[in-house]
Amino acid sequence: MNNPLVSIVIPVYNGGNYLREAIDSALAQTYENCEVLVINDGSNDNGLTEKIALSYGEKIRYLKKQNGGVATAVNLGIENMKGEYFAWLSHDDMYYPEKIEKQIQALRENGDMTAIVHSNYDVLDVESQKLTPVNWLNQYTLKQLTNSNFAPVFLCIHGCSILIHKSHFQRVGLYDESLIATQDSVFLFHLMRDQKSVFVEEELFITRLHKDQGSRTMACHEPEYNKMFKNFCDMLTEDEMCLMCGSVYNFYNRLLCLLRPIPKGKVTCKFILEKLHELPIPKDYFSKQYELFSFLQNISKGKTDKLCIFGAGRFGKRLLRDLRGRCITVDCFADNDPQKKGTFIENIPCISFDELKKQKEHILVIISMLASDEVFKQLNENGFKYFITKQSIDRFLFSIPPIIQLEELYTNPKINYESEDCRYLIKSFNKTLMEMIKNSNS
């Protein structure tokens, strides 16, 4: 069978810390027809980066240039690659040995050898040495991940996960060299728009999380970040927004839910809120809200009277806002981290697993965290009957906007969710829907 050449491009600036491991991982690919290009973007580390690259001799192709930013280095690699396919590997990341082989295999199984391929991955926290798998299927559906540019808009794709046929560069051009921090997301937006992609569920590479990363240190990142999302919103048609999220209103709401916890997204959040206030809530809102309430009720056949979010981190907080915006009361968080026990997160108490076990007969648990498989197993082994993952209700959350009153409430950081007005609003809405569910089941 024909094995097309794959060019692995490694852009690097001052890579003495991790470059060798990146090159080794590229050379260790089980797919045999690969070339490795290392592009030195004007490193000023007394020749250390160049020394490491040159030590590989003819095993790699080495190019160097004046410093101009990562996009200029990647583009130089693309312009000089001999392969039919392009893959990006950051100098501080590492491919697993079967990364390229599994992506070529996925293309063959798909039947379109020019489709764009991306995948799950692992995140290595350098400080703690903790390896965390990122499985985007725990947050989104396969249809969403492979349909047009949903993945780049909602930040569920990593630039090092991709495998791209060279024909796409003729279609959309190269990386924008005027961008210092968002060049990969902007490129992926144009690359994947109106395209079907292939998603490999396995984790195919490791990305490091460390204090020296450009996204953490570059002052330009925040304005670029906000401009990028504003441009995304301006370029997308209403049909594309509806395809991604069911309605234009839902699209903006989902984007707000994504960006609101991120400090550098404040400008974009303000823009999105202005859009939301201009748009009518979809006409089918109440019927879809009813479907969500019915789904949650039917999990326990009405035997649960409390709801818990397992995972008091970023994903758990996002789910709390999602549920509140749809008039669903959350009674508590639970988390395996002992430091979170007894704390309050947005006025919701966080309890230990032992405390949660005492309530397992009458509480519904929604797991909202990246490593959901471990918690799923933990709950199952401890006799919990009523638990689901956030993924199980994502289809509802994507199609149901928050009601306008709570849209204003939950985007206000000063709101007291335990206030009498807020409790009354949620209770009244719940009561109406519960009566509908009861009547439909009788």
Maximum average pLDDT range among 30-39, 144-153, 205-214? 30-39
Question: How do residues 298-348 score in pLDDT, each as one tens digit?
Answer: 888 888 889 999 998 888 888 888 888 777 889 999 998 889 988 998 889
Classify residue 216: in a domain, yes or no.
no
Mean pLDDT score across all residues of the chain:
85
Question: How do residues 13-63 score in pLDDT, each as one tens digit?
Answer: 999 899 999 999 999 999 999 999 999 999 999 999 999 999 999 999 999
Q: Give the pLDDT band (50/70/90) at residue 266.
A: confident
Classify residue 214: in a domain, yes or no.
no
Q: Are residues 363 and 272 in the same domain?
A: no
Q: Are residues 363 and 296 in the same domain?
A: yes
For residue 105, which amino acid is it? Q
Classify residue 337: in a domain, yes or no.
yes
Q: Are residues 17 and 153 in the same domain?
A: yes
Q: Are residues 169 and 27 in the same domain?
A: yes
Side by side, the strands of the sheet bearing 344-345 are 344-345, 348-351, 332-334, 306-310, 363-367, 387-389
Instruction: Indicate the residue among 259, 278, 297 that finishes a domain.
Output: 278
Maximum average pLDDT range among 92-106, 171-185, 232-246, 419-433? 92-106
Is 301 or 287 the better-scoring residue by pLDDT? 301
* Res. 213: pLDDT tops 70: no
pLDDT at 210: 65
Is 161 or 216 the better-scoring residue by pLDDT? 161
List of residues 6+ apart from 438 with CB closer than 8 A: none
181: three-class secondary structure by DSSP = coil
Q: Quote the CA–CA distance of 39 and 64 in Å, as a whole number.
A: 6
Domain range for 73 is 6-208
Classify residue 37: in a domain, yes or no.
yes
Instruction: Indicate the residue among 278, 295, 326 that finishes a domain.
Output: 278
Q: Are residues 17 and 129 in the same domain?
A: yes
- Tally of structural domains, the chain: 3
Work out whether the CA dihedral 187, 190, 149, 224 comes out positive or negative: positive
CATH number of the domain that 20 lies in?
3.90.550.10
For residue 331, which amino acid is it? D
| 80, 166 contact by CB (below 8 A) | no
pLDDT at 219: 52
* Res. 146: pLDDT tops 90: yes
CATH number of the domain that 380 lies in?
3.40.50.20
pTM of the model: 0.76
**What interhelical angle do 248-259 and 314-324 show, nearest 10?**
140
